[in-house]
Structure 1
Amino acid sequence: MPRYYVNRNAQSNGDHEVHKSGCSWLPQEENRIYLGLFDNCKPAVREAKKYYSQVNGCYYCSRDCHTS
């Protein structure tokens, strides 16, 4: 099961992106929050919404959850 993280830094549109371990776009350790181990991005996005109201999946590693 992959580890998921949310970026502490928002994108220009305000989204905090959720990334899977191993993603080329995974932020540096100091710029991410560990969310946990999940089968897919959907529960990871739900977990990230406990930290930020505007959350989106990474286009490259969590495409099923990428909405904008």
Structure 2
Amino acid sequence: MAYYYVNKNAQSNGDHEVHKSGCSHMPDTENRHYVGDYSNCSDAVKKAKQTYKQSDGCYYCCNACHTS
């Protein structure tokens, strides 16, 4: 299990990136929203999409869920 966070700030393409705790590309504390504790990034991205419809996994820490 790992803690997942979504960046409150969208990237230029509109995606809100989901990050696993410890990621070197984690947004600053004030720019992240806690998603939950999950065993995989897929469940974390699904949860993030409830708040930020256009969510995607981070290329570096959630590559299996990175689609754009």
Q: Same fold (TM over 0.5)?
A: yes
Equivalence for 1:40: 40
Rounded to whole Å, the distance in 2 between the matches of 1:9 and 1:49 is 14
Q: Which residue of 1 aligns with 2:56?
A: 56
- TM value normalised by structure 2: 0.98
TM-score by length of 1: 0.98
Query: What is the root-mean-square deviation of aligned Cα atoms in Å?
Result: 0.4
For 1:12 and 1:23, the matched residues in 2 are separated by: 20
Runs of 4+ with deviation above 4 angstroms: none
Alpha-carbon distance in structure 2 between the residues aligned to 1:36 and 1:51: 13
* 5+ residue gaps, structure 1: none
